[in-house]
Amino acid sequence: MSSSLPEQTQTPAPAGVFTLVITGAPYSSQAPQTALGFARAALAANKRIDRIFLYGDGVHLASALSVPPSDELNLSEAWAAFLAENSIAGVACIASALRRGLVNDSEMQRYGLPGSNLRAPFEIAGLGEWVDSAASGSRVIYFHKGG
């Protein structure tokens, strides 16, 4: 409203903090691409993104080992670059990740696995990270597989 009182116009806008939850896997859903389009637009509009949470099949986005053909977008790489450039946490749910063969070095050692494949800066953590976003009043937007 243009007639707002001066003190109101000086008050920062209500915290526009988003958490994006991606549950659709790259190359079997459009979810990671739509989420990236949303995330870029959110930052361009001066909103903050507190974290990206990968859940279910979405954890495949954090794989360092996916190698799409050279004329296709490498979604894992694109997301990792976006997170690093903007210092946004990317968290893969540990239960979803372990089930689907996505591990970091400490999980590799714990389970005696032949390798690890988590792409930096993604981290592995529990659902508590998602609960924290939801409970702290972040606007949580989910990106599921389509159909």
Q: Which of 37, 68, 101, 115 binds another protein (CB under 8 A)?
A: 37
Q: Which of 19, 26, 51, 56 binds another protein (CB under 8 A)?
A: 56
End-to-end C-alpha distance for the chain, whole angstroms = 41
| By CB under 8 A, residue 38 contacts another protein | yes
State the Cα–Cα distance between residues 130 and 54, nearest whole angstrom: 9
Q: What angle do CA 72, 76, 80 make, to 5 degrees?
A: 130
Q: Which of 19, 42, 61, 79 binds another protein (CB under 8 A)?
A: 42
Give the Å distances, CA to CA, from 49 to 64, 88, 97, 136.
23, 7, 22, 13
Q: Is 93 marked active-site?
A: yes
What the block records as the tokens of 147 is: 């159909």
The minimum distance between CB 120 and another protein, in angstroms, equals: 25
Nearer to another protein by Cβ, of 50 and 57: the residue is 57
Instruction: Enumerate binding residues for another protein (CB under 8 A).
Output: 16, 18, 21, 23-24, 30-31, 34, 37-38, 40-42, 44-45, 47, 55-58, 95-96, 99, 126-128, 130-132, 134-135, 137, 139-147
